[in-house]
Amino acid sequence: MADKRKVVIDCDTGVDDAMALLLCLKRLDVLGITTVGGNVGLQNTQRNTRYVTEIAGRTDVPVFAGYAKPLLVPLQDASYVHGAGGLGNIQVPEPQKPLEKQHAVDFIIETFMDQNDVSLITLGPLTNIAQALLKEPRLAQRIPDILTMGGSTAGGNATAAAEFNIFVDPEAAKLVFESGIPIRMVGLNLTRQQVATPEMRDRVKAIGNPAAQFAARLFGDREGKPGRDSFCDACAVMWMIDPTVITKSAKMHVTVETRGEFTRGMTVCDIRGFRSDVPPSDIAHEYHFDPLPAGGTPNVEVALELDAPRFDRVLLETLEMYS
Ligand code: RIB
Ligand code: CA
């Protein structure tokens, strides 16, 4: 695919992953999609992913199954948010498209060891990525960049402190965040700026093609659920599809709490250098001063501001491309 960014996507296909996949399968050169246990169990996340490739008319894109559970702890899923099957009240028939036999981790290792110009996008818990780094440590020098939906500079959703993707597997997330691979992080502080509205659902539905009809049903699962009315994963992939959708970002040190009694899974973002000198705003979105004592070396570029109308425009334009 001429001039489209080559990516591998790792996801735990639930409602917002599905919306993100519709965007990526049309706008990016998706070499493969790896799946992980997260929103729901792996059997459902891999099946949902195969189903979405059929809806998108992209059954040429291989789908792989990875790890069903986190590195050290049992899986705590989000079926209370995404429904038992993972796609809300959308009943998903068994897809015709087969699952690849190769393990997701081996596909990730093979792809990034063999190719230099592929980006990694993660939309679920980071278990597969951590397992790949453990199995092939040279990956840390081979993966050029990771775009991840996860974490937050300001509070969680799975707990008061932790965002779901990080909360499910904090050990995996800490390993990835401290790997040295350049990371762009789209956290809840950003995704909360995007709201799925009934008006947008109606505009999506009016497009009329099968992908848009499916997307309209995904809206149905989000509406009227304050705090759950964002397509978090779609916000993340927008940063690669149309970078102008993210209007402000900042580099800072981020690591993951793995032992806190109340904060396990929190992304500890060092925002001290961004303390605003314009009360009452909390943090400025420009670097202000060196915190004392000096914080850790900035290792993550954190998305801070979203152009929500532009998000809606790119979503509509992409779904129209399926006609
Ligand atoms: O916290 C939101 C994230 O957790 C999204 O990726 C959603 O799909 C769930 O995996
Ligand atoms: Ca997800």
Q: What is the DSSP string of 22-80?
A: HHHHHHSEEEEEEE-SSSS-HHHHHHHHHHHHHHTT-TTS-EEE--SS-SSS-----HH
pLDDT at 228: 75
Range in 88-97, 165-174, 274-283 with the lowest mean pLDDT: 274-283
Cα 51 from Cα 93, distance rounded (Å): 8
Rounded to an integer, the average pLDDT of 63-76 is 97
In the chain, pLDDT over 70 holds for what percent of residues? 98
Substitution candidate for ligand 1 out of 16, 168, 186 with most atoms within 8 A of CB: 16
User: Where in the chain are the domains?
Assistant: 6-320
| Mean pLDDT over each residue of the chain, to the nearest integer | 94
With contact defined as beta carbons under 8 Å apart, do 249 and 190 qualify? no
Q: Which atom of ligand 1 is nearest to the CA of 15?
A: 8
Domain 6-320 is in which class? alpha beta
Any ligand 1 atom below 6 A from CB of 88: no
pLDDT at 294: 67
pLDDT at 293: 66
Ligand 1 center to 165 CA (angstroms): 6
- Closest residue by Cα to atom 10, ligand 1, is 124
Model confidence, pTM? 0.96
Rounded to an integer, the average pLDDT of 178-195 is 97
pLDDT tens digit sequence for 16-68? 999 999 999 999 999 999 999 999 999 999 999 999 999 999 999 999 999 99
Q: What is the DSSP string of 75-120?
A: ----HHHH-TTSSTT---PPPSSPPPSS-HHHHHHHHHHH-SSEEE
